[in-house]
């Protein structure tokens, strides 16, 4: 090659060729070998010297056995990425020769490449004190990452077993979640790039990324994120914003490589939520890019990715309680084609009805079905009806089997999946009843009557006692309006049977009633991460505020012995306090029974209560 011969090729300054030095070392003469190590370790080594050394090493890889591991490690520490194009090309050639001749060095080579998947850290020392340790976000970072991927592809081409050795290294080098946003962002972006040319690793890499995202997600409850945003908005003084600006100047610029634009208005106040937001944005972009070729949906690519994501969903998401955002990767990919959404619903349905699955998994599957049907704007009414038919028919069969048996009484431990299915059906009806009745009211009412909710509500298993009160109240109001079933007698009887729990705290004793015995949650509640929500919002069915007329129609009728104030309490999301009934105090499930003001997309407190 021209660039190799451009500087005159030199032999080693201290005598002999590389082969001679290595042969001397084998015989016990280490003088020249130590000089060689010293020169290669010199931080001021010139490009021409590196090229000459690498050229000699390429022809002598047969000598680089396990015994010379220390020398190989020095070669792997050479600062090759920041050097000239000639050095980079020669180094890539050396890596190919090394791993093909001496596979014993495969792991160190892979570790060296993967360690470059994050921006280098620059430490400035002044009087023996570290005064800076920040990401070196230079303009050539994207080019360096491209070169790393070329190196990885070169190694994989020479050693077919590379993927099985690479995966544990990718796991080990994943940055800790408290590392800088830029570090996490670059590493995840590079992991996803690996899946393009090593497709056998895609499922494992997606599993690794989603597992880390899930840890971030469950570490940042929605209430904490909202509290942090509210606090940031309240204390947004000029001094604070000036101080932040000093340290976050790079955030206002478009980031090269990952094309993530970050302005101060888009930053999340909660630091872990900020990291999660950036990583979810990258994941959504990856899903879109894999599934679309030249702007058009590629069915085969989409199906393959869907299978991988469902596998990860089953393994990680479904067994995890109360994650808020990560599960939206399934919501997003299902929006590409109705067939995928139906396949996902069918998958969840099989989980729900299979008695061999653990009860908690079946209940969570029920929560996902209800939340998905209610919130996915891209699911048409015909699919909603088909799913409601499945759910309701299964509930009727369950009642047939239980009503005459010894277990025909209200018990979450015995009938958890049944109650979860009831709640899914009630929740779906609350969100979709207008669409189900739209166009032809008589036909719609006939369909809803055919579901026979009255039998479900009145059965011995008493689902209204177990489901979340906010869902029960709205379901009762809607079914009363359309004269499908009258639930209030049962609700009042259930309220009288609630057993209050006294909890001692710093503010004295607090009387509570358990308002969520199912310990259920709605996995597709409003998405609140600022950047990535732009992907979700167009696909998302927000809760529509009730008009004055709707409120009038849905008001709980004032009964004898109750006052108008109690009727207002119902509209404010509170339980009417009759004699002997303990009011529902705030508790750990409060976010399910009361919508925070900042949760755009769920009904606020002043309307009929809703989770």
Judge contact between 403 and 451, C-beta under 8 A.
Answer: no
Band (pLDDT 50/70/90 cuts) for residue 15 is: low
At 510, give phi and psi (nearest 5°): -125, 125
Give mean pLDDT, residues 39-44: 87
Characterize 82-102 residue by residue with b for buried, 16 or more Cβ atoms within 10 angstroms of its Cβ, and e for exposed.
Answer: ebeebbbbbbbbbbbbbbebb
Helices (H) and strands (E) in the chain, counts: 29, 6
With CA atoms as reference, report the closest residue to 482 among 436, 422, 527, 520: 436
Band (pLDDT 50/70/90 cuts) for residue 494 is: confident
| Mean of the per-residue pLDDT values of the chain | 80
> Any idea what the Cα angle at residue 188 is, between residues 187 and 191, rounded to 5°?
85
Report the Cα 601 to chain-centroid distance in Å.
20
C-alpha 494/C-alpha 410 separation (Å) is: 11
Residue with tokens 């509570």: 512
Portion of the chain with pLDDT greater than 70, in percent: 75
Judge contact between 546 and 607, C-beta under 8 A.
Answer: yes
Give mean pLDDT, residues 324-330: 95
More confident residue, 599 or 151: 151
Query: Which residues neighbour 448 within 8 Å (Cβ) at sequence distance 6 or greater?
Result: 429, 433, 436, 437, 482, 484
pLDDT 10s digits, 382-429 = 999 999 999 999 999 998 887 666 677 777 777 889 999 999 999 999
* Largest interatomic CA distance in the chain: 108
With CA atoms as reference, report the closest residue to 112 among 75, 142, 59: 75
Characterize 417-427 residue by residue with b for buried, 16 or more Cβ atoms within 10 angstroms of its Cβ, and e for exposed.
Answer: bbbbbbbbbbb
pLDDT tops 50 at residue 250: no
Say what the pLDDT of residue 243 is: 45
Say what the pLDDT of residue 264 is: 60
C-alpha 457/C-alpha 446 separation (Å) is: 18
More confident residue, 526 or 12: 526
C-alpha 362/C-alpha 365 separation (Å) is: 5
Give mean pLDDT, residues 19-32: 85
Of 241-250, 357-366, 463-472, 560-569, the poorest mean pLDDT is in 560-569
Say what the pLDDT of residue 217 is: 94
More confident residue, 402 or 529: 529
Give mean pLDDT, residues 164-169: 96
Count of residues making up the chain: 611
Residue with tokens 């032809």: 440
C-alpha 605/C-alpha 611 separation (Å) is: 10
pLDDT 10s digits, 251-310 = 444 444 444 445 567 888 899 999 999 999 999 999 999 999 998 999 999 999 999 999
Q: Summarize the chain as % helix, strand, coil (round to 5).
A: 60, 5, 35
Say what the pLDDT of residue 196 is: 95
C-alpha 205/C-alpha 171 separation (Å) is: 9
Sequence-ordered alpha helix ranges (H) in 498-557: 533-536, 548-554
Torsion angle of C-alpha atoms 455, 456, 460, 466, degrees rounded to 10: -150
Residue with tokens 């490589």: 257
DSSP string, 162-193: HHHHHHHHHHHTPPPTTS-HHHHHHHHHHHHH
């Amino acid at each position: 090659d021209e660039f190799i011969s451009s500087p005159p090729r030199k032999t080693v300054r201290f005598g002999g060729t590389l082969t001679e030095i290595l042969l001397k070392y084998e015989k016990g003469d280490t003088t020249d070998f130590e000089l060689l190590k010293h020169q290669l370790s010199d931080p001021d080594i010139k490009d021409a010297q590196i090229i000459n050394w690498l050229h000699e090493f390429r022809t002598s890889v047969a000598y680089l056995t396990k015994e010379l591991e220390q020398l190989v490690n020095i070669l792997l520490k050479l600062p090759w990425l920041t050097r000239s194009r000639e050095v980079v090309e020669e180094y890539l050639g050396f890596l190919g020769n090394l791993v093909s001749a001496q596979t014993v060095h495969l792991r160190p080579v892979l570790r060296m490449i993967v360690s470059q998947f994050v921006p280098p850290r620059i430490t400035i020392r002044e009087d023996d004190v570290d005064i800076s340790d920040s990401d070196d976000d230079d303009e050539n970072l994207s080019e360096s990452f491209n070169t790393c991927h070329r190196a990885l592809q070169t190694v994989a081409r020479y050693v077919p077993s590379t993927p099985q050795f690479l995966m544990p290294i990718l796991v080990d080098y994943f940055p800790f979640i408290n590392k800088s946003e830029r570090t996490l962002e670059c590493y995840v972006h590079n992991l996803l790039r690996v899946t393009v040319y090593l497709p056998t690793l895609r499922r494992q890499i997606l599993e690794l990324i989603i597992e880390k995202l899930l840890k971030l997600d469950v570490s940042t409850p929605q209430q904490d994120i909202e509290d942090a945003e509210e606090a940031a908005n309240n204390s947004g003084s000029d001094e604070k914003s000036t101080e932040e600006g000093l340290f976050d100047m790079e955030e206002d610029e478009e980031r090269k490589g990952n094309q993530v634009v970050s302005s101060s208005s888009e930053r999340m106040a909660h630091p872990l939520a900020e990291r999660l937001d950036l990583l979810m944005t990258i994941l959504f972009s990856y899903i879109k890019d894999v599934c679309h070729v030249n702007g058009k949906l590629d069915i085969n690519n989409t199906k393959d990715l869907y299978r991988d994501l469902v596998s990860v969903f089953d393994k990680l998401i479904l067994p995890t309680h109360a994650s808020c955002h990560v599960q939206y990767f399934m919501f997003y990919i299902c929006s590409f084609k109705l067939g995928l959404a139906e396949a996902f619903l069918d998958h969840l349905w099989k989980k729900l009805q299979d008695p061999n699955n653990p009860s908690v998994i079946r209940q969570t599957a029920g929560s996902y079905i209800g939340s998905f049907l209610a919130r996915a704007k891209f699911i048409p009414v015909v699919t909603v009806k088909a799913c409601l038919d499945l759910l309701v028919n299964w509930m009727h069969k369950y009642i047939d089997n239980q009503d005459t048996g010894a277990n025909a009484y209200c018990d979450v431990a015995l009938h958890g999946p049944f109650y979860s299915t009831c709640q899914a059906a009630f929740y779906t009806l609350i969100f979709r009843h207008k669409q189900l009745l739209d166009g032809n009211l008589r036909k719609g009412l006939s369909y809803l009557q055919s579901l026979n909710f009255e039998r479900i509500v009145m059965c011995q298993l008493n689902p209204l006692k177990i489901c979340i009160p906010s869902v029960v109240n709205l379901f009762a109001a809607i079914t009363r309006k359309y004269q499908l079933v009258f639930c209030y007698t049962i609700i009042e009887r259930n309220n009288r049977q609630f057993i209050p729990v006294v909890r001692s705290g710093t503010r004295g004793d607090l009387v509570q009633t358990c308002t969520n015995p199912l310990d259920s949650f709605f996995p597709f509640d409003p998405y609140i991460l600022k950047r990535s929500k732009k992907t979700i919002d167009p696909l998302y069915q927000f809760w529509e505020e009730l008009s004055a007329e709707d409120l009038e129609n849905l008001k709980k009728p004032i009964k004898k012995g109750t006052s108008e104030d109690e009727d207002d309490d119902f509209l404010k999301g509170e339980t009417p306090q009759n004699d002997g009934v303990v009011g529902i105090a705030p508790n750990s499930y409060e976010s399910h029974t009361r919508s925070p003001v900042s949760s755009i997309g769920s009904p606020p407190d002043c309307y009929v209560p809703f989770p």
